[in-house]
Structure 1
Amino acid sequence: MEYEQRLIAAAELVLAGDRSADGGPLLDPTDLKVSADLKPHQIEGVSWLVRRYELGVNVVLGDEMGIGKTLQAISLLSYLKFHLMSPGPFLVLCPLSVTDGWISEFTKFCPSLNVLRYVGDKGHRGSLRRMMYEHVHEQILLHNAHPELPFDVLLTTYDIALLDQDFLCQIRWHYTVIDEAQRLKNPSSVLYNVLEQKFIMPRRLLMTGTPIQNNLSELWALMHFCMPSVFGTMEQFISTFKEAGDSSGLA
């Protein structure tokens, strides 16, 4: 019962935020600072993401492929940086196969965001790390009390996040976007546990176009990764929703 009450309390918090926004204006697209004409559903989507951010709620964006999830995510990061004046830094994790696509869309739609493409071989990544250390060290020598990193967004892959976890987990990421988040459907995987336990990223957006397919354990994995304090253990989650299905005749 305590677990169910926790879920209900979290849902009521979000619903209250939505009710307060009902009838109110969507975000002004000019506040997003992107050079794109967002479609109505994208403006609504970014407005929804911003409301969740303001509530401190992490989310899964499960739009189908081709709907424009990447542009919505870039618009959100731009809004955080240039409208809410967040210092960042932001982290984008994705498969290697889509890194070029992300860079292309950042360049096309939001060139004002300074994006570091943290990929390549060990030597190249080592050079990038030295550049970052030197940049921060110079600011410290100039008595900057809050030295900033030489980028707004660091874009890297799941594999490199594992290889260079000791470096990347030293950075407190203000907001993290995880593309093709179906990679996190296995809570026993090394990737899941490293990201959850070692990386400092309290604000998270998971993007996936892959349906859950009624698998409660996979659904829990994504929900728990978003909000571990709310969704508890897999056993609690499965027991609660299996009982709900049984009582409604859906099981």
Structure 2
Amino acid sequence: MMGEEGRPAKKLFRKSKKGGRELRLDRPPEVPLVDPNCKFDSQPLYVDETGGSLHAYQLEGLNWLRFSWAQGTDTILADEMGLGKTVQTIVFLSSLYKEGHSQGPFLVSAPLSTIINWEREFELWGPDMYVVTYTGDKESRAVIRENEFSFENNAIRGGKKVFKMKKEAQIKFHVLLTSYELVTIDQAILGSIQWACLVVDEAHRLKNNQSKFFRILNGYPLQHKLLLTGTPLQNNLEELFHLLNFLTPERFK
């Protein structure tokens, strides 16, 4: 993911239609070149190069997510179903990577039935990020851990039983895409990784702060949390409170 040794770096700038220079980011810069507090009036170049086009409200969502990340504020993206929360999230994670703010790793936990859609959207909107889908039975997951979690041999002890990742091991992927169930089942290995950002799709699943999923995620080392739900107030105010309590328990006790 770091690129081939000796490969010449591509130009960071290109000529814009207005005659000036536009920032192009084929490879993440070592030092961030874009202030995440700045507001994009139009979608950035790295989004243009995917061939996709964000709606105005999705660009507003991207600006809000980037600003919240810069302020250290965990967030709930609560656009209604069908408005593209997945797309906004992927472009947000891609912006952190492409602008040099963070290379991850990012953890995306989603219902098993939606993971194939996440894969498809990552391929379109975040083509430069290395995304690993972590699903399957014990044997399948053991193969994924052995081959896709780190560049280093013996970063995780082999075999079907799950052990912790070594602290000094270099993470191979940018994004790990997995199901709710495996966040619980494989908490030993997943909970030993320092996650730059957690994304929980259909986060109303966290409506009960006594749920096992809720309690286990609370034990994960997470720098930033983003919850996605189209129904933050589906039944009552208490459900929203549990989401806020998960995000910032010191403020919402």
1:26 Cα offset (Å): 2.7
Give the direction of change, closer, same or farther, for the CA distance of 1:133–1:57 in structure 2 (3 Å limit): closer
1:214 Cα offset (Å): 6.0
| CA distances 1:107-137 after superposition (whole Å, capped 9, x unpaired) | 1222111100000111000111122466234
TM-score between both structures, scaled by the size of structure 2: 0.75
Counterpart in the other structure of 1:244: none
The whole-number CA distance in structure 1 between the counterparts of 2:143 and 2:184 is 18
1:150 Cα offset (Å): 1.4
Counterpart in the other structure of 1:64: 80
| CA distances 1:66-102 after superposition (whole Å, capped 9, x unpaired) | 1110000000000001113412100000000000000
2:151 paired with 1:129: no
The whole-number CA distance in structure 1 between the counterparts of 2:217 and 2:154 is 30
2:176 paired with 1:154: yes
Give the 3-state SS of the residue equivalent to 1:117 in structure 2: strand
Give the direction of change, closer, same or farther, for the CA distance of 1:130–1:27 in structure 2 (3 Å limit): farther
Q: Structure 1: where are the runs of 5+ without partners?
A: 1-20, 140-144, 233-251
Counterpart in the other structure of 1:37: 53
Identify which of 200, 218, 243 aligns with 2:239.
218
Give the direction of change, closer, same or farther, for the CA distance of 1:38–1:189 in structure 2 (3 Å limit): same
Counterpart in the other structure of 2:187: 165
**Contact 2:132/2:148 (8 A) holds in 1:** no
Which structure 2 residues correspond to residues 1-12 of structure 1 after superposition, within 5 A? none
Matching residue's letter, 2:211: S
Give the direction of change, closer, same or farther, for the CA distance of 1:50–1:27 in structure 2 (3 Å limit): farther
1:28 Cα offset (Å): 4.6
2:113 paired with 1:97: yes
Note the aligned Cα RMSD (angstroms). Answer: 2.1
Greater helix fraction, Structure 1 or Structure 2 = 1
1:54 Cα offset (Å): 0.5
Which structure 2 residues correspond to residues 68-87 of structure 1 after superposition, within 5 A? 68-87=84-103
Q: Structure 2: where are the runs of 5+ without partners?
A: 1-36, 156-166
Give the 3-state SS of the residue equivalent to 1:29 in structure 2: coil
2:184 paired with 1:184: no
Matching residue's letter, 1:200: P
Decide which moves more: 216-225 or 171-180: 216-225
Give the 3-state SS of the residue equivalent to 1:228 in structure 2: coil
Give the share of equivalent positions with the same residue, in percent.
Answer: 38
Q: How many residues align?
A: 204
**Contact 1:32/1:76 (8 A) holds in 2:** no
Counterpart in the other structure of 1:209: 230
Which structure 2 residues correspond to residues 11-22 of structure 1 after superposition, within 5 A? none
Counterpart in the other structure of 2:69: 53
**Contact 2:130/2:174 (8 A) holds in 1:** yes
1:210 Cα offset (Å): 1.6
The whole-number CA distance in structure 2 between the counterparts of 1:52 and 1:116 is 26
The whole-number CA distance in structure 2 between the counterparts of 1:169 and 1:27 is 38
